[in-house]
A and B are shown apart, each in its own frame.
Chain A
Amino acid sequence: MYSDKVMDHFKNPRNVGEIENPSGVGEVGNPVCGDIMNIYIKVENNVITDAKFKTFGCGAAIASSSMATELIRGKTLEEAWDISNKAVAEALEGLPPIKMHCSVLAEEGIHKAINDYRKKQGLEPWAEKNPHSHDHSGDSTCQP
Chain B
Amino acid sequence: MVTIYIAFTIVNTFRNYKNIPFRATHPELIREGTMSEKRIIYLDHAATTPVKPSVADAMWPYMNDHFGNPSSIYRIARESKNAIETARAQVAKAVGAEPGEIYFTSGGSESDNWAIKGIAFANRKKGNHIITSAIEHHAVLHTCQYLEKEGFSVTYLPVDRSGLVSPPDLEKAITDKTILISVMYANNEIGTIEPVAELGAIARKHKIPFHTDAVQAIGNVPIDVKGQNIDLLSLSAHKFYGPKGIGALYIRKGMKIDNLIHGGGQENRRRAGTENIAAIVGLGKAIELATADIGWHNSHIRALRDRLLTGILEKIPYARLNGHPEKRLPGNLNVSFEFIEGESMLLWLDDEGICASTGSACTSGSLEPSHVLLAIGLPHEIAHGSLRLTLGDANTEADVDFVLEVLPKVVQKLRDMSPLYRKSGKEGGCNV
Please report A residues at the B interface, Cβ cutoff 8 Å: 2, 7, 10-11, 13, 16-18, 27, 31-38, 53-62, 98-99, 101, 140-142, 144
- Per the bound structure, the CA–CA distance linking A8 and B360 in Å amounts to 22
Known: A57-B341, A62-B344. A32 touches B419 (CB 8 A): no
Residue on A with the closest CB to B366?
A: A140
| Contact call B384/A10, Cβ cutoff below 8 A | no
| Contact call B367/A142, Cβ cutoff below 8 A | yes
Q: Which of A36, A98, A142 contacts B420 (CB 8 A)?
A: A36
Q: Which of A56, A98, A142 contacts B365 (CB 8 A)?
A: A98
Question: Across the interface, which residues of A come within 8 angstroms of B417, CB to CB?
Answer: 13, 16-17, 53-55, 62
| Contact call A59/B343, Cβ cutoff below 8 A | yes
| Contact call B344/A34, Cβ cutoff below 8 A | no
Kindly list 17 other residue pairs between chains A and B, CB separation below 8 angstroms, not including A34-B361, A140-B367: A10-B347, A11-B347, A16-B417, A17-B417, A31-B380, A31-B384, A33-B361, A34-B362, A35-B341, A55-B417, A56-B418, A57-B341, A59-B344, A59-B347, A61-B341, A62-B417, A98-B367
Chain A nearest Cβ from B318, distance in angstroms: 13
Dominant secondary structure of chain A at its interface with chain B: mixed
Residue on B with the closest CB to A101?
A: B367
- Per the bound structure, the CA–CA distance linking A23 and B419 in Å amounts to 18
Size category, B interface: 20 to 34
- Per the bound structure, the CA–CA distance linking A134 and B422 in Å amounts to 30
| Contact call A58/B341, Cβ cutoff below 8 A | yes
- Per the bound structure, the CA–CA distance linking A61 and B369 in Å amounts to 16
- Per the bound structure, the CA–CA distance linking A57 and B419 in Å amounts to 10
Please report B residues at the A interface, Cβ cutoff 8 Å: 339-344, 347-348, 351, 360-362, 365-369, 380-381, 384, 416-422
Q: Which of A11, A27, A60, A99 contacts B351 (CB 8 A)?
A: A11
Chain A nearest Cβ from B176, distance in angstroms: 38
Residue on B with the closest CB to A7?
A: B347
| Contact call B420/A56, Cβ cutoff below 8 A | yes
Question: Across the interface, which residues of B come within 8 angstroms of A55, CB to CB?
Answer: 417-419
| Contact call A142/B368, Cβ cutoff below 8 A | yes
- Per the bound structure, the CA–CA distance linking A2 and B342 in Å amounts to 16
Residue on B with the closest CB to A144?
A: B380
| Contact call B369/A34, Cβ cutoff below 8 A | yes
- Per the bound structure, the CA–CA distance linking A34 and B378 in Å amounts to 13
- Per the bound structure, the CA–CA distance linking A17 and B348 in Å amounts to 19
| Contact call A56/B339, Cβ cutoff below 8 A | yes
- Per the bound structure, the CA–CA distance linking A31 and B385 in Å amounts to 10
Known: A10-B344, A56-B339, A141-B367. A34 touches B360 (CB 8 A): yes
Question: Across the interface, which residues of A come within 8 angstroms of B421, CB to CB?
Answer: 56
12 A-B pairs (CB sep. < 8 Å): A7-B347, A11-B348, A32-B381, A33-B380, A34-B362, A35-B341, A54-B419, A56-B381, A57-B341, A59-B344, A99-B362, A140-B367
- Per the bound structure, the CA–CA distance linking A98 and B362 in Å amounts to 8
Question: Across the interface, which residues of B come within 8 angstroms of A141, CB to CB?
Answer: 367
Question: Across the interface, which residues of A come within 8 angstroms of B365, CB to CB?
Answer: 98
Question: Across the interface, which residues of B come within 8 angstroms of A98, CB to CB?
Answer: 365-367
| Contact call A27/B368, Cβ cutoff below 8 A | no
| Contact call B341/A33, Cβ cutoff below 8 A | no
Q: Which of A17, A34, A53, A62 contacts B381 (CB 8 A)?
A: A34
- Per the bound structure, the CA–CA distance linking A86 and B416 in Å amounts to 28
